[in-house]
Amino acid sequence: MDLVTTAQLRALGNRVAAEGAMRARCMVVPVDPTTALCRVLGQYKMYVDLRDTGFVPHLMFEGYWEYWITEFVWRNVRPGEVALDLGANHGYYTLLLADLVGPRGKVHAFEPNPRLAELLERNIALNGFWHVAEARAEAVCDRNGDTARLMVPLRDPKNAHLVSPDLDIPPDLDRGRFALHEVLMVTLDEAVPGRADFLKIDVEGAEEAVWRGMQRLIARSPGIKILMEFNPRRCEDPRRMLAEMAALFPLREVNFDGRTAPCSPGGLLARGEETMLYLSKANPA
């Protein structure tokens, strides 16, 4: 069966048909006891960590992840743009972004987990995007050049999170279930020169620090589009963060149909769960 391109999936304009096309082309080949190679989005090859039970099985079984977000991304990223993937994981969205921005664009992909950063870099090269996308094994925060501790649940590494330097890590930490890494911190203000056009942010509790460290980037990027997973329970002061975002952008969320709808700080705080925010002065496609 021939591969399917992102342009063809987008042109289908039908979720059932697009999901079926990706699922039909899904393949998995074991590589070693902890690694497999699978096909995602109907065309890209991805090395994946088999210990991951929260994300990887979906790729191996269906060939895609979060269809409504995937569709939103391919509708709203254009050739020649500069895209950022914060919390890039294995590189699912990095590959999609690299394909969408094309050879005249650029993708900066940040993933502090060493194992996933290694797979991310391999996946970029495997799909021929080394000239477009750059893998950076750094944690995006509000400080540049310092280090932090990253706690990684090995069976669900997409939920890895930075831990306070004051937190006492028990010496008998179950190394079969968790890994602890010292990682370098960077700010987007310093790490990304020039403008940014599209950001996908999924940083599991570091949202406030990322936001503080990207204000100059926002100021020099008038057309910026930000897709941010936001959960008030993971914030120290969610009310303040929402107020700061609302002062710069209309507050909108991406629903399960891949379309945006207005939302309010009060509604988000009352909901108390994860929301995919869309922050931009531009209306989405």
What are the tens digits of pLDDT across the range 68-85?
A: 999 999 999 999 999 999
Q: Which fold has domain 66-279?
A: Rossmann fold (3.40.50)
Q: For residue 167, name the pLDDT band (cuts at 50, 70, 90).
A: low
Which residues is 107 bridged to in the sheet?
83, 133
> Is the pLDDT score of 166 beyond 90?
no
174, two tokens: 């179950």
pTM of the model: 0.95
The pLDDT of residue 205: 86
What integer best gives the mean pLDDT of the chain? 94
88, two tokens: 């890039």
What value does the CA radius of gyration of the chain take, rounded to a whole number of Å? Answer: 18
> Is the pLDDT score of 165 beyond 90?
no
Place of tokens 């952008």: 249
Alpha helices in 28-134 (DSSP H): 56-62, 67-76, 92-101, 114-126
The pLDDT of residue 272: 80
- Please give the torsion angle defined by the CA atoms of residues 160, 161, 166 and 171, in that order, rounded to the nearest 10 degrees: 0
From the list 237, 241, 230, 217, the residue with the least C-alpha distance to 271 is 230
Is the CB of residue 111 less than 8 Å from the CB of residue 119? no
